[in-house]
Amino acid sequence: MPFRFVPFVVTPAELEEILAPFTLFVGSVHVPADYRSTPASEFAGNYNAVYSLLCSGERVDIRSSSKLLTDFFVTTDIDSVVFGNPHEYDGEQYKMYTGTSRGYAPYLAPFSFSAREEYDRIIVSTRESYLIEKAAIMGFQLVFSKEAEKDDSAADFKLFKDRLAKHTKPLRFTMNGFEKKTVIRVSDEAKKDLRGFYCVKCMNIEIL
């Protein structure tokens, strides 16, 4: 299934503002039978912890921060979310997310960053797997299926992008004398911190 990816780096306070219209829920693992949604404050807390680690210059990856790098789906209509597949695990009842009545829900997941010079141009990757290749994390990204662009849930994807755009601009940097504009959205406040991120420092690039 082809996806759209919107990688971003914003401050924790900016993220909380962006998330204001949304309800978050777990969709990648089973949840207790009485589960409905996850408070936005829980994801914001994870994000704040990850952001603090990134600002410290520490290498953040799945080995060091697996509990913080959790995917969360977002929706403006929690009543549309459907759970099924009831089952028992360790004596407790659980269920699984099976979809929404509005179509494919967008979700938030970590993204990695790398840059290299090749044939007099800069190649940027945000798709190196943080799960399989244990790549260093730069931030989070919004993910949405291209096949769901006509679903009602596409309005949530657009709303998040629009709210993100109010806080951010495309990240630009120089490397070995070459300038590069990326698809990574970065706020002015986060840009000040970004220079100290491990994945930026180890690439020997200058943020513009």
In angstroms, the CA 40 to CA 62 distance is 22
On average, the pLDDT of the chain sits at: 90
How much of the chain, in percent, has pLDDT values that exceed 70?
95
State residue 21's pLDDT score.
96
- Please say if the pLDDT value at position 18 is more than 90: yes
Contacts (Cβ under 8 Å, ≥6 apart) of 126: 5, 7, 111, 112, 113, 138, 141, 182, 183, 184
What average pLDDT does the segment 191-200 reach?
93
Is the separation of the CB atoms in 78 and 32 below 8 Å?
Answer: no
- Please say if the pLDDT value at position 139 is more than 60: yes
Q: What are phi and psi of 63, to 5 degrees?
A: -70, -35
- Report residue 134's pLDDT band, with 50, 70 and 90 as the boundaries: low
- Residue 188's domain comprises 3-207
What average pLDDT does the segment 138-143 reach?
94
Report strand pairing: 31-32 vs 3-9. Answer: unpaired
Q: How many domains does the chain have?
A: 1
State residue 138's pLDDT score.
92
Cβ-in-10-Å burial (0-12, 13-18, 19+) of 166 comes to exposed
Report strand pairing: 178-187 vs 3-9. Answer: parallel
Q: What are phi and psi of 138, to 5 degrees?
A: -105, -35
State residue 114's pLDDT score.
86
Q: Any idea what DSSP says for residue 14? A: H
State residue 133's pLDDT score.
53
pTM of the model: 0.90
Q: Summarize pLDDT for 71-106 with one digit per residue, the tens.
A: 899 999 999 999 999 999 999 999 999 999 999 999
What average pLDDT does the segment 139-160 reach?
95
- Report residue 117's pLDDT band, with 50, 70 and 90 as the boundaries: confident
